Amino acid sequence: LLAHGNVAQFACKVDRVVLNAMAMSAALPPDICAFGESSAIVFGEADPPLHASLRRLLSLVTEAGPKKTPLYDEHVRLGAKIVPFAGWLMPVQYTSIVEEHRAVRNDVGIFDISHMGQLIVEGAGAREWLNAMLTNNIDKLDVGMGQYTFLLNERGGIIDDLIVYRVGEQKFLLIVNAARADEDFAWLQNHLKEGRSPDRPGGRPSFANATAGKLETVVPCELTNRSANFGGVAIQGPRVVELFRELFGKDIEPPTRNYIADFRFDEMTVSVARTGYTGEDGIEVFFRTIDAVKFWNGALEKGKPLGIKPCGLGARDTLRLEMCYPLNGSDLSPDRNPIEAGLGFFVDLSKPNFIGRDALLKTKEIGPREKLVPFRMKEKGPPPRPHYVVFQNDQRTGEVTSGTLSPSLNWGVGMAYVSAAHAKIGAEIDIEIRSQKFPATIEKKPLYRKSEK
């Protein structure tokens, strides 16, 4: 009995804001994420100019063993099955993926997302600089609001997908994928350094024209990796607002969708964002590492009457796939751009410059070669899995990037890259599973809607 599926290939992901960027100006406390400082100051004078790949190599040597989140012992105590994921030891499930999945669809579930990276960009030039680094338009963000966005390479390929929150007038919090956190940080750091004025060698890093690489206005901003000192949980499901009030107070309003704000719980300050990666109403809570266990256990206790369940990466993956939220490393990669992935909505090509813009304009002009499409099996049968080959009229046309049996639909669903010419909603495709072809239909997003239950 040997698993040849993708057990270790589970989601770890930016919990994601999808559309619905209804900018309602909520009344926000003035000190949003004020506690979000970290001791890890990044730009020492003696900081050697390490190349990103060398950095990765070094981190492999020095951090050979997988890391544990501050909640690791709690997961073990709850009987979770632990798997290595993106350099971390993470719970894949506590009781059953299907049970945990249903808890989120019907009641409420809590996920450890402490493995995700947390970066802070702060300073008078932060807004302008991030707008040159990321695809979405930062200028659309009021203080306290977040948006889904991409970090691209020069070819327009996706280094990471993330959520950036504007937590202050000149301060931004980036929640990035665990597997990419070090790489993102090194990439951003290198770009900041390029912008450092040569005649001010000891000066503050500054903003440079991202596409031309030439120095423009010298506007300071600072990049900090606070990942080691901060953790987080996602609390997701239709009963999340009830739980929010149990935790923070009967009369306290949760942030509006896509917003983030600070709240007090049991003598600690936490940041709560109304975002998620499940398609249900939900919040993501970020706290100091030392507060992690207290918050986790507090939420489990207060959530008990609401039917809360601790949920692992397995359920996180099935939940996000039903919604067609992409998983970096499976659906997204440095060789895929947001247009191919069907996520052009989160790219603002009207911005004058950001890394990858030229490549995306070209893709837009000639059209993408392949497109990421959701599909649904036509018959009850074996569930699709990543890397299964897709055929259309007996021609190989693509490859499955995500696939599973949807617990909500009790049916095989997935996403695949297929040649753009064939990527039409309603088109019939075949998925090859163990040398046999099984028919499927290209669907529109999402694969699961609440009313279909």
Residues that bind other proteins (CB under 8 A): 1-7, 10, 81, 92-93, 95-98, 314, 317-318, 381-383, 385, 404-405, 407, 434
User: Residue 337 or residue 402: which is nearer to other proteins going by CB?
Assistant: 402
User: Residue 260 or residue 405: which is nearer to other proteins going by CB?
Assistant: 405
Contact yes or no for 236/280 (Cβ under 8 A): yes
Measured from the CB of residue 99, what is the shortest distance to other proteins in angstroms? Answer: 8
Measured from the CB of residue 96, what is the shortest distance to other proteins in angstroms? Answer: 5
Catalogue the E-assigned strands of 237-300: 260-265, 268-273, 282-288
User: Residue 25 or residue 436: which is nearer to other proteins going by CB?
Assistant: 436
User: Residue 12 or residue 158: which is nearer to other proteins going by CB?
Assistant: 12
In the block, residue with structure tokens 């450890």? 112
Contact yes or no for 341/328 (Cβ under 8 A): no
Measured from the CB of residue 377, what is the shortest distance to other proteins in angstroms? Answer: 11
User: Residue 232 or residue 403: which is nearer to other proteins going by CB?
Assistant: 403
Q: Which of 78, 103, 67 is nearest to 231 (CA)?
A: 67
User: Residue 225 or residue 318: which is nearer to other proteins going by CB?
Assistant: 318
Measured from the CB of residue 5, what is the shortest distance to other proteins in angstroms? Answer: 3
Contact yes or no for 437/430 (Cβ under 8 A): yes
Measured from the CB of residue 8, what is the shortest distance to other proteins in angstroms? Answer: 9
Measured from the CB of residue 2, what is the shortest distance to other proteins in angstroms? Answer: 6
Coil, helix or strand for 319? helix
According to DSSP, the residues that pair with 395 across neighbouring strands are 392
DSSP structure class, residue 308: -
In the block, residue with structure tokens 């997204």? 332
Contact yes or no for 228/40 (Cβ under 8 A): yes
For 279: left if phi > 0, alpha if psi spans -120 to 50, otherwise beta; the answer is left
User: Residue 47 or residue 379: which is nearer to other proteins going by CB?
Assistant: 379
Query: Which residues, in sequence order, are CB contacts of 419 under 8 Å at separation 6+?
Result: 369, 370, 397, 398
Measured from the CB of residue 22, what is the shortest distance to other proteins in angstroms? Answer: 34
**Integer Cα distance of 61 and 58 in angstroms:** 5
**Integer Cα distance of 93 and 312 in angstroms:** 4
